[in-house]
Amino acid sequence: MNALEPEEGDTGSEKERRGIQSIEAGGQLLLALGAQGRPMPLRELAKAADMAPGKAHPYLVSFGKLGLVTQEASTGHYWLGPTAMQLGLVTLRMLNPVREATPFAESLVRETGHSVALSVWGNQGPTVVFLFDAIYPLHTNIRTGTVMSLAGTATGRLFAAYLPAKLIEESLLEDERRLGPDIATPIDREQLQGMLNEVRKHGVSRSVNNPTPGVCSFAAPVFDYSGNIVLGITLMGRSRSFDTNWTGVQAKAAKECGVEVSRRLGHQSLRPA
């Protein structure tokens, strides 16, 4: 019988659940190394993987032969090896922020009922690349391809808060050119800096009835493995059914979505409170 074929009497679900326990057990050592983010002595590593040192050592020897772990000559501490690093780099090169964010954005729409936009930094500024409609009619001027005002929108202020200042200087100077008819009064620099500090403090950007009256939003950042913002996730809804508190339901939902997508891209961050 082929080893990959199910044994007689196996059901489909049993076949899917069945794995090799020794690989799963040894894998806990690799997960512990990745979670700790530093070289570790055998005893400490084994404890982190909930394993006896004597049981952990043979796994580490085999992983060493495969290049998945390496042992420092000076300290004897274990760390991720060249094969593990190469696998990680291949994965990171293949990751596409929008593709990774799409199922999370769809889930956010189902969870909240509100609209969700995905935006990236384009040649002219923050640009909407995907828009998921709310479960109810929501009237905004946002469409796929819309370039968002840096100062006048939650999405724009999100990028302005986390991108290098020199990168956005020119865009800020030209911001009034693309404010559009919805924004009656441009935001001055001092007020803008206060709003950007607020974004960094709360980890999300907020707009309340501005630029579109009756529409509120929270925009959450998505970071890649190097800590750079690569995507904005903006949750938008009617003001009468949208919690605009910084610690409210909508803010937490948007922030959690951003954190989960960031993790998919290799960013190490704390789960939002």
Report long-range pairs for 68-73 (Cβ below 8 Å, ≥24 apart). 68/30, 69/29, 69/30, 69/33, 72/39
- In this prediction the pTM is 0.67
Rounded Cα distance between 88 and 83, Å, is 9
State the Cα angle at 219 between 217 and 225, rounded to 5°.
170
pLDDT band at 18 (very low <50, low <70, confident <90, very high): low
CA–CA distance, 229 with 233 (Å, rounded to integer):
11
Q: Within this chain, do residues 32 and 44 fall inside the same structural domain, yes or no?
A: yes
Residue 17 shares a structural domain with residue 88: yes
Read off the pLDDT of each residue in 249-253 and give the average, rounded to a whole number: 97
CA atoms within 13 A on the CB side of 48: 20
Q: Is the pLDDT of residue 185 over 60?
A: no
- Provide the pLDDT confidence category of residue 178 given band limits of 50, 70 and 90: low
Are both 38 and 113 inside the same structural domain?
Answer: no
How far, in Å, CA of 143 to CA of 130, rounded?
A: 8
* Helix ranges, the chain (H): 12-17, 21-36, 42-48, 53-66, 82-94, 97-112, 154-162, 165-173, 189-202, 249-264
Domain match, 167 and 260 both: yes
Residues 46 and 110 in one domain: no
Residue 107: Cβ-neighbour burial (10 angstroms; 0-12, 13-18, 19+): middle
On whether the CB atoms of residues 140 and 236 are closer than 8 A, the answer is: yes
One domain, residues 141 and 31: no
Total domains in the chain come to: 2
User: What range defines the domain where residue 236 resides?
Assistant: 96-264
Same structural domain, 87 and 108: no
Tell whether 147 and 233 lie within a shared domain: yes
Ordered alpha helix ranges (H), 113-150: none
- Res. 5: pLDDT tops 80: no
What tokens were used for 6? 């199910």
- Which of 70-79, 87-96, 129-138, 194-203 shows the lowest per-residue confidence on average (mean pLDDT)? 87-96
Q: Is the pLDDT of residue 268 over 80?
A: no
Cα(273)–Cα(255) distance, rounded to whole angstroms? 9
